[in-house]
Structure 1
Amino acid sequence: MMAHTLLLVDDEEKVLEFMEPFLRQEGFQIITAKTGKDALQKAKEKNPSLVVLDWMLPEMSGIEVCRELRKMSRMGIIMVTARTDETDKIIGLEVGADDYITKPFPCVNW
């Protein structure tokens, strides 16, 4: 069985270091990106099954990235962000995210 590719996008190294091992353990092949533009480029090159996407990124916001990804694919997109306002969640889902999870994660002590 072939592993699904997951694009993990966050500009914080600690978040990438925390999430990547758990996602690998679940059988995903992980690609990472730290900027919005890099995320779009890697998504075009690798065509991941799923994108875990932060909202606040350098160069291009996660919202803009999500909008562009939706134009090119129906891949799964999960926004994982520190933006906790209900309006932000609605915006994230309206631009094409399939789910919206807020940071910090309750089980993590940074």
Structure 2
Amino acid sequence: MSNNSRVLLADLADDEERIRRLIRMYLEKDGAEVEESDNGVDALRKALDSDYDIIVLDWMMPTLTGLKVCKMVRYIRVTPLIMLIAKEDEIDKIKCF
């Protein structure tokens, strides 16, 4: 990440707060501006209303899943997305791609 990069972390607080804090710490240490969202609807609103250099989505979000948010964002934006998934089913991993 370069200085002034904008990152959206979506719903990483629910189940793995330690991971969210670590990701945020490294991004901010590298000069990124980090915003967070605690559910899918809020993540989608932020992703469509603001310009981010990258969006990190959790697969399992309340109100809208990370996959649904990803699909909706893709209709409008070309922002790079990283999907965090704790699922072990191969079909779920394929859906992320």
TM-score range, shorter chain: 0.7 to 0.9
Find the partner of 1:65 among 63, 69, 85: 69
> What is aligned with 2:29?
25
SS of 1:51 mapped into structure 2? strand
TM-score for both structures, normalised by structure 2:
0.86
The alpha-carbon deviation at position 2 of structure 1 amounts to: 5.2
Structure 2, unaligned stretches of length 5 or more?
none
Alignment RMSD, CA only? 1.6
Cα separation, 2, equivalents of 1:87 and 1:69? 21
- Kindly report which structure 2 residues correspond to 1:63-102, keeping only aligned pairs within 5 A, or say none: 63-93=67-97
1:55 matched to 2:55? The reply is no
Structure 1 residue ranges (4+ consecutive) displaced by more than 6 angstroms after TM superposition: none
What percent of counterpart residues are identical?
32
Structure 1, unaligned stretches of length 5 or more?
94-110
**Higher normalized contact order (CA 8 Å, seq sep 6+, divided by chain length):** 2
> What is aligned with 1:8?
9
TM-score for both structures, normalised by structure 1:
0.76
